Structure 1
Amino acid sequence: MQVGSSFAVAESGYLPSEKFDDDGRIKRTGTWKSATAHIITAVIGSGVLSLAWCFAQLGWIAGSITLALFSVITMYNSILLTDCYRSPDPVTGTRNYSYMDAVKSNLGPLQYKLCGIAQYGVLVGITIGYTTTTAISMAAIQRSNCFHKQGHEAGCHVSNNMFMVIFAVIQIILSQVPNFHKLSPISVVAAIMSFSYSLIGIGLSIAKIAEHGIAKTSLTGIPVGPNLSGMEKMWRTFSALGDVAFAYSFCFVLIEIQDTLKSSPPENKQMKVATAAGIMASTVFYMLCGVLGYAAFGNDAPGNFLTGFGFYDPYWLVDIGNICIVIHLLGAYQVLAQPLFGFMETSSKKKWPQNKLVTREYSLCGFELNTFRFASRASYVIVTTIIAMLFPFFNDFVGLLGAGTFWPLSVYFPIEMYISQAKIRKYSFTWIWMQILSLACLIVSLVAAVGSTRGLITSVESFKPFQSVS
């Protein structure tokens, strides 16, 4: 059975007008609580797993300051961005359905194109990173059981490729969820899972500290010496900055999340509450994971503190933690891929409006199906999985994604859009402050990108494609 668009249904009179919003689309029902769940799902991702390693590179002082600064900067720019959902007025203006629409409305077509390259490139990169991370966590479950049976000195090495294929099959099914508005249940489950594995990591760190005391740590991180040159210390520090930036990357889906909110109270007011709640909750968990993880492992902190086997026992709790990671990233993948899917499908409908393969919707047992949606999304999942098999490098890949995401999408575009929409006078105090903030964040992103790129090149030199092993 073919299902018409919301506009067609509204015009046909099949549904009462109160079922639709002011733009003719099905009435949005999201609240600040559901938006908070989306934000936590997007923010508390695989980035939390590397924070103990980041503290080992940065040390107590720089590590704590870096986390706090990234938190404040992300919240500040996110709050600016919430006022750009509607243009030109943040309460009564025309809706921008996506981050790119907001850029186009406020900054024009050229910056719209540049934003598209940055946003969708980063989204592709993150979904590749999530594929790698999920496979490593799946493999860690099998390895944990092996260590329990054969002892901690056993090799217990496992190929990651099979787990990447399993993840891809599940994602092809989940990808048939039509849009963001249908993702709330998945986001709620994913948010619960992210809290769960963070708490497990925190609990295991506390238990390790209680049993063995605080490990060898330093105010400045791993010291330069025979095992670490000054140059290598610098590269690792840069890469750690990229990891922290990645941990706070979510601005590029903020507008899409805001588009799920009901219009009363105003979307920007609800989204500010959701943003503050989501980022503060995430920061508390990040600080606990980073501080306690570093205290537990010290300068030997693994790149991923739940799959690097700093913890062996209780093995069943380590397994539960990794299961939570898998479930969370299944949902997080969808939260971050939906803007990309939406762009592909909207562009195709505009280009081929008469093509029934692209436009026709079918209803089967209550599910909405579309031939083009199934083929395009399945193809995307397959391609990103193959790339993940080629480049399965966790820390450096995460750092590079963070560096590529942070300045353009979390700082530059939100600031420039707000300046345009609020008509901030050039060279005023506010304008100068915002430009200094943007420049400082650009420098951080550049050094993080250099460090992560160098780490990737080093890893690629000794890696054989499709031979990823945990």
Structure 2
Amino acid sequence: MAAERQEDNRQAALEIPQGCEPQIDVDDDGRDKRTGTLFTASAHIITAVIGSGVLSLAWAFAQLGWLFGPAVLIAFSIITWFCSSLLADCYRSPDPVHGKRNYTYGDAVKAYLGVGKHRFCSLAQYVNLVGCTVGYTITTAISMGAIKRSHCFHRNGHEAACEESNTANMIIFAGIEIVLSQLPNFHKIWWLSIVAALMSIAYSTIGLALSIAKIAEGGDVRTTLTGVTVGVDVSASEKMWRMFQSIGNIAFAYTYSNVLIEIQDTLKSSPPENKVMKKASLIGVSTTTIFYLLCAVLGYAAFGNKAPGNFLTGFGFYEPFWLIDIGNICVAIHLIGAYQVFCQPIFHFAERWACRRWPDNSFLTAEQIVDIPLIGELPFSFFRLIWRTLYVILTALVAMIFPFFNDVLGLIGAVSFWPLTMYFPMEMHMAQAKIRKFSVRWTWLNVLSCVGVVVSVAAVCGSMQGLIQDLANYRPFNV
């Protein structure tokens, strides 16, 4: 009987028509099989979250003090983790495990909330993504310049006038990103995210070590429960604006919800993507919050109310200069990768729209397979080459015109945190779970959302005021 069954199976296999063999290299949506894991998703998240925001946290704590600084940071971390968990369930619709895939944040909003809110979401998301790429260009250029400045201070003394042009550094950074931007999608840059995540941990650790060393040196460092003192460090109005701006800086430090769906779209379908993404979000947010608290607390303890806007490039640290150099090299490498994490959704959106708008245009749709040494075969498109290059150049130009680290970061974080991290995940959760209006859960979710609106508006005002002050005596392309 066993032999007969084997023969029947062999005959059945021969009867399968050619070309109808089961496809084992594609997912349920017909796309290439996703290979992402908890490890790669966590790396993407850490890459996206631990960015230039960590460098401004000591300054933020100097404005808020020991009392409000940790409280605000922990509150943002809890809100980010909670809303990320809600958003992870929206990758598929209507069922979070077996429903239809939503490839982008905007697709999820459209599936759950309709076209009108989808347009609002898309505007908020892509403004934030563009802002992040501009912010990363600024930060990387500053870190590259800090390496040259540290050598200058080491040779000529700490009082030397060691100025460095950020414009040239931004051009170098843009050149690197133009090359990396030709990688087609997230699936091809998982290795870049892992390298970038390791770099973020490295420079955060270096900052911690330098802060501990500076604390051990002693010196006249003044810290307070409420931060910079009115009448001593700042005026009353300046104190208020700085507090608002620091809230925006902390909000920026937790920016990653706008790419969460895109990261989740890299995961294997088994185990369910939403469960893996929730674990990855917990790992990513927990890891970054620990680093953030350590960097902020020790940075504030080291510099007190005079903490620099960027504690690795503001030159509160001078020696050992080689360790400062390593830290800034790690910042540059990390942000080279983080730039790609944030710009890939922009590229995908624009290219998908263009192909749908002009499906018969061979310039937009044609691809060639190019064999690149050490990398392998990659699809190449002249349209991608031209448009992605122009995008990188544009963000570099904006960064050259507005190279203000704290103000730009605060403004980006303030504008995007409420709609992308709080409002849309909560609204989609209520639609998915069919939560009844004016029920207890509906009420407290909306109250939390309203608090987010107030905080975001205050942070926008603070960052705008700082930006206006900086622009008063600034000449573009001159630093």
**Is TM (by shorter chain) over 0.5?**
yes
Residue 416, structure 1, aligned to residue 427, structure 2: yes
Residue 194, structure 1, aligned to residue 205, structure 2: no
Which position in structure 2 is the counterpart of 1:311? 317
Runs of 4+ displaced beyond 4 Å: 12-16
Pick one of 387, 390, 393 that aligns with 1:382. 393
Distance 1:91 1:13 in 2: 30
Which position in structure 1 is the counterpart of 2:46? 40
Which position in structure 1 is the counterpart of 2:303? 297
Change (3 A) 1:386 1:14: farther
Distance 1:203 1:331 in 2: 24
| C-alpha deviation, 1:211, in angstroms | 1.3
Identity %: 59
- SS of the residue 1:367 aligns to: strand
Aligned residue runs from structure 1 range 44-55, under 5 A: 44-55=50-61
Distance 2:175 2:22 in 1: 39
- SS of the residue 1:19 aligns to: coil
| C-alpha deviation, 1:226, in angstroms | 4.6
TM-score, normalized by length of structure 2? 0.94
Amino acid aligned to 1:255? I
Residue 432, structure 1, aligned to residue 443, structure 2: yes
Listed one character per residue, the Cα deviations across residues 321-375 of structure 1 (whole Å, up to 9, x for unaligned) are 0000000000000000011000000001101111111111111112221111111
Which position in structure 1 is the counterpart of 2:172? 166
Distance 1:79 1:293 in 2: 31
Coordinate RMSD, CA, aligned? 1.3
| C-alpha deviation, 1:103, in angstroms | 0.4
Distance 2:220 2:197 in 1: 30
Distance 2:288 2:183 in 1: 26
| C-alpha deviation, 1:227, in angstroms | 4.2
Which position in structure 2 is the counterpart of 1:321? 327
TM-score, normalized by length of structure 1? 0.96
Change (3 A) 1:210 1:15: farther
| C-alpha deviation, 1:462, in angstroms | 0.9
| C-alpha deviation, 1:389, in angstroms | 0.5
Pick one of 367, 372, 385 that aligns with 1:361. 367
Residue 269, structure 1, aligned to residue 275, structure 2: yes
Residue 449, structure 1, aligned to residue 460, structure 2: yes
Distance 1:86 1:227 in 2: 51
Which position in structure 1 is the counterpart of 2:338? 332
Amino acid aligned to 1:417? M
Listed one character per residue, the Cα deviations across residues 372-401 of structure 1 (whole Å, up to 9, x for unaligned) are 111110000001101110010000110000
Change (3 A) 1:267 1:301: same
Distance 2:358 2:336 in 1: 31
Which position in structure 2 is the counterpart of 1:5? none
Which position in structure 2 is the counterpart of 1:221? 227
Which position in structure 2 is the counterpart of 1:59? 65
Pick one of 143, 148, 165 that aligns with 1:142. 148
How many correspondences in the alignment?
A: 458
Query: Is the contact between residue 240 and residue 448 of structure 1 (CA under 8 Å) also seen in structure 2?
Result: yes
Residue 84, structure 1, aligned to residue 90, structure 2: yes
| C-alpha deviation, 1:32, in angstroms | 1.1
Structure 1 unaligned residues grouped into runs of 5+: 1-11
Pick one of 183, 201, 209 that aligns with 1:203. 209
Amino acid aligned to 1:364? V
Query: Is the contact between residue 213 and residue 296 of structure 1 (CA under 8 Å) also seen in structure 2?
Result: no
Distance 2:21 2:281 in 1: 33
Structure 2 unaligned residues grouped into runs of 5+: 1-17, 372-376
Larger radius of gyration: 2
- SS of the residue 1:18 aligns to: coil
Residue 130, structure 1, aligned to residue 136, structure 2: yes
Distance 1:160 1:281 in 2: 31
Amino acid aligned to 2:269? S
Residue 393, structure 1, aligned to residue 404, structure 2: yes
